Structure formats: C-alpha cells, structure tokens
Amino acid sequence: MAVRARYRMRDYTITADPVTPATYQAVCVTGEDADCGADSDHQETEAAVERWIAEHTRDTGHDFYRRARWDYVKAEPGAWQ
C-alpha cells in the first residue's frame, strides 16, 4: 500500500541584509589522508582572506583551500501557492 502525503508550498522572498556585512573565510584543505584544517576565521574583506592564504602558503607550502563568502539574508514568507 502506498502512503501519500500532501504539502502546501509557500513562496519566500530572500533578500540580503543591508545592515550586517558579509565576511570571508578560508580553510586549508591540503593533505592526503586528512586536511590541514588551518582556518582564517572570518575576515572583513576578500583581500584580507587572500593575504591569509598567501601567508599560510608561504609558511607551510600548502596550496589548496576552501574559500567562502558568508553573507546574511532575511527570509520573508509570502503567499501560499
């Protein structure tokens, strides 16, 4: 016997928060068995995270990173479909 479920769908408007600035972060994922894991923590600018990457590469020779831009958004529920 098949079980069926019905879900009501709703539209959401997602917009960038104008007050909270985005941050930038990089994590060193160099390594064969395990990632290095060194973390830049949250930086205020992309240039700052690139500077952190350059310094980490200079100091360790590591050359592979996961980089992210973290921004903040507001979600407002809209009409039901």
Instruction: Note whether 29 binds Zn ion by CB under 5 A.
Output: no
- Quick one: which of 22, 29, 36, 48 contacts Zn ion (CB under 5 A)? 36
Q: Which residues, including other chains, have CB under 8 Å from residue 77's CB and lie 6 or more apart?
A: 10, 11, 12
Q: How far is the CB of 18 from Zn ion (least distance, A)?
A: 35
Residue among 11 and 63 whose Cβ is closer to Zn ion = 63
Which amino acid, 52? W
Alpha carbon distance 81, 78 (integer Å):
9
Q: How far is the CB of 39 from Zn ion (least distance, A)?
A: 10
# chain residues binding Zn ion, by CB under 5 A? 6
Does 38 participate in binding Zn ion (rule CB under 5 A)? yes
Q: ∠ CA(19), CA(68), CA(51), 5° rounding? A: 95
- Rounded CA-CA distance 44/78 in Å is 32
- The residue ranges that bind Zn ion (CB under 5 A) are 28, 30, 36, 38, 60, 62
